[in-house]
Each structure stands twice: as C-alpha cells, then as structure tokens.
Amino acid sequence: MMDPMLAEALQNMLDEYSAVTGRGVFDHLRQLAAPLRGARVLHVNSTREGGGVAEILQKLVPLKQALGVDARWEVISGESEFYQCTKGFHNALQGNRVPISEKQLRAYEVNNVRNAETLRSLLEEADFVFIHDPQPAPLLAQCPNRKGKWIWRCHIDASHPYRPVWRYLSKWVAPYDASIFSLPEFAQPLPHSQYIIPPSIDPLSEKNRDLSTEEVATVKQQFGIDPELPMVLQVSRYDRFKDPLGVIEAYQKASRVTPLQLVLAGGGASDDPEGEAVLREVQAAAKGDPNVHVLMLPSDAHRTINALQRGADIVMQKSIKEGFGLTVAEGMWKGKPVIGGDTGGIRLQVIDHYTGFLVKTPTGAALRIRYLLHRRDLLKEMGERAQRFVWENYLITRHLREYLTMMVALLYGSQERIEVGLE
C-alpha cells in the first residue's frame, strides 16, 4: 500500500504533466500500464547527476510509480580507474580507436562484482531490470538467480563501434532478454530483441519549464552577455564529439559579416574525466574575443541553462557524433531553430529547413547562422515548428509510453500483436 502523502504527490505530478500534454495522454498511459501494476522495476546507471541519462531517470521513475509500477533507481559506484575504463568504452562505442588496458578491464569487472553484492537482492527480485549503458552491464552475469526480464539500454551512438571494445562488451550484453537503442542505425547484432526508443525531455524540469523574461535577462546579465547582440548558444559537455572548436570556427566566420555573440555552456559529468582537457582547448581558441563566452556550469545549473536557451536566438548542437542530443529537443522546446550536426539522433529532431538546419562543417554552420539572423521571419517560423514537433514527439510521456509498451510486450511474449484484456 502506497504512503498516502506519496500517492498525493504523485497524483499532483500527473496533474501537472496533464496540463502540458493533455489529459488524454495519461488516460492512455494508465490503460497501457494496467497489466504492469505492482511490477517491480529497477533502473541502474552510474551517475545520479550530470548527463542525459540521469535527467531522464529523475522523472521517468516517479512517473512509472504514479502509474502503479513499483519502480526504483539505483546508481553503481566506482573508483577513478573504473570511470577511465567506462569513458574509454563510451568513446570506443562512438567509433574512436581507444585502447583499454587489461588493468582497466579488471577494474571494470571487479567494480561490477562489488556493486552486484550491494544490489543483489534488488536485482534478483525485480520483474524488470533496466541497465543503462556499459558501466553496469556485467551485473547480469553476477545474478544467476535473477527472476525478471533484463534489458540493456544503450544511450550511445554505437553505429560504428571500435570492434575490439564492442567484442568485449557484447559478451556481457548478449545474455540480456532485450536491448534498447535510440536509433535503428545504432543497433548491433545481438541474439535478442532490439527495441528502438529515442529519448525525450521533461517539460516540467528546471531545465525546461517556463521562465519569466526578467529571469532570462538576469541570467544573461550575470554572465556578461550583451542583451542587444544576437546570441548563438551551444550547451554541451566539453567533449570532442560535440565539436566546440568547430562551433567557435563557425562563429568566427559568421561574425565577420553579422554581429553576434557566442555562448558555450558546458559542464562535467562525474563519469567524464576528459572534459577538462577539452575545456582548456576551447578557452585557448576563444581567448581575446569578448563576444565568446565560455561557461563552465555545475551539473545542477538546470535553471541557468534553461534561461540561456530561452535567451538565445539560435541553438546549436554541432556534434560530429551524437547518441540523441537532448539539448536539441531542449532548444526546440523553447521555440528556437537548431543548427545541428548531420549525425545520429540530431537527424530525428532537426528536420532540415523546417525545424532548423543540418550541417556538416563549421562553414555550413556559419552560413546558416548568417541566414537565420538575416531572415528573422523564418527564424521565428522555424522555432514555432520546432516547439510543436517536440510537443508531439519528444516529451517524456512518449518515452514512458514506449517503455511501458515494451514491458507489456516482454511480459506477453514475442508475438507481433498482443491483445490485453479484450472481450
């Protein structure tokens, strides 16, 4: 029996979401979740804060609870060598030739054995276990008495992984009951069902809820951003795959003919030891230009990021590799056109010439910056389309629906059509 205060809080949360998505969405979700009432669902990842996975889980778990699913979220811990190894995995899955030493691999395995001991009863009793990304993948092998369905959720663009690393990781992942990839192109040959579920944004989070124009202006002032000068923004970790140096190059090319300022807003995740080196390179490239603002924000600066996105004229995500790129949907949700790298999940969100532009080079990005700042009418129109597109397709309620659908499907077997509770 759920604590009445918790039940009330969850109901209030559902009411808040209904106000954004429409009540019908939750009627649909309640009916879909009916066969899963009381099911014990456990999500496991490696960081509570920082990065898209943690942000999604912060709301996905309570929403499942509100629909009657007994969901919880656990985080594995690790030492520096473990994170060095998993950062290497991350880069290798995205195609970088990253050598990973035997010592690091042992640290990875030992760390998972240790975490399995701590979480064993939860892992083995759960009806569904969602393991996010490679960090906790070996937990399954440590749970021979597991009862439920185990699903490996890969949030990374694994379309062209560095083969030796994928060969090693697939050994841990193959025994799962199913896996989830964000895009069909990311799926890898595995001996189980591979579901395709793009991620989503939470419209009520600090990062995405409405803000007053005063608050947006205050944040811009706080960072010395000129309120009169057009602003182009990229929000992302300082990571080579996000191409922050390419963004500066695009700004430099565009600003020769169009007055503008660039804001690069990044932060670190606790499982990303490489960020500082990239940040130093970015600071060096921006040095001496008062219209380039390189911000290092703490992982909980969600409201600040929200204000910066709302204060921008154009949002960029010029990644050269991207799993999904939640910052694209975030920018679009605030009614901004997005100039995005023509890669991975950005292609799902930026519909070229409709909700923004897909670009392949810094020069291409510079061209689109100039075009949009010159054609303000189109900038506004694209921004409006972008917002509607996210409302229809990339809110957390769609994500939740797909998780629930997959869980029902796993519960009832692998047939193509599953009929639940029909007369």
Partner 1 sequence: MNQHPSLATNAHPFAVRDCALISLATGVLAQNLREFRDGLLKVPAGCIYHHFWGRLLRPQFDEPEYNNDFASWAYWGLHDKPLAERLSMVLPSDYADLEDLRQEVVEVVEQRLDEMDTVPWAQVDQRFGFLQSQIVVFDTGMRFEQPLDLVPYVPGLSTGSIFYHFIDARRRTESHGDDFSSWLGTFGQEYAPLKKRLAGVDPYFSSLKEIRQIVTTIFQTFFEEKA
- Is 318 a residue that touches partner 1 (CB under 8 A)? no
The single-letter DSSP state of residue 34 is G
Q: Which of 43, 153, 370, 398 binds partner 1 (CB under 8 A)?
A: 398
Site pattern 336..365 for partner 1 (x: CB under 8 A): -------x----x--x--xx----------
| Single residue of 4, 24, 38, 290 touching partner 1 by CB under 8 A | 24
Element (DSSP H or E) covering residue 73: strand 70-75
Q: Which pair of tokens denotes residue 306? A: 């929200």
The residue to which tokens 């979740």 are assigned: 33
Pick the binder of partner 1 from 77, 213, 222, 393 (CB under 8 A).
393
* Strand runs labelled E in 167-254: 178-181, 193-196, 231-235
Chain centroid to CA 259: how far? 32
Q: Give the nearest distance from C-beta 194 to partner 1 in angstroms.
A: 4
CA pair distance 382, 48, nearest whole angstrom: 34
Q: Is 185 in the site for partner 1 (CB under 8 A)?
A: yes
CB of 385 to partner 1, least distance (A): 9
Site for partner 1 in 38-67 (CB under 8 A): none
Closest approach of partner 1 to the CB of residue 274, in Å: 24
Q: Is 34 in the site for partner 1 (CB under 8 A)?
A: yes
Question: Candidates 6-14, 123-131, 272-280, 391-399 — which segment interacts with partner 1 by CB under 8 A?
Answer: 391-399
Instruction: Say if residues 354 and 385 touch (Cβ distance below 8 Å).
Output: yes
Nearer to partner 1, 233 or 404 (CB): 404
Rounded CA separation 421/117 (Å): 39
Determine which helix (DSSP H) or strand (DSSP E) holds 378, and give its type and residue range: helix 376-393
417 contacts partner 1 (rule: CB under 8 A): yes
Please give the Cα distance from 257 to 192 (Å, whole number).
54
Alpha-carbon distance 194 to 184, whole Å? Answer: 9
Nearer to partner 1, 108 or 389 (CB): 389
What letter would DSSP give residue 199?
-
Q: Is position 3 an interface residue for partner 1 (rule: CB under 8 A)?
A: no
What are the start-end ranges of the H helices in 275-338? Answer: 275-286, 302-311, 326-333
Chain residues that interact with partner 1, rule: CB under 8 A: 24-25, 27-28, 31-32, 34, 159, 181, 184-185, 187, 189, 193-198, 343, 348, 351, 354-355, 389, 392-394, 398, 401-402, 404-406, 408-409, 412, 414-423
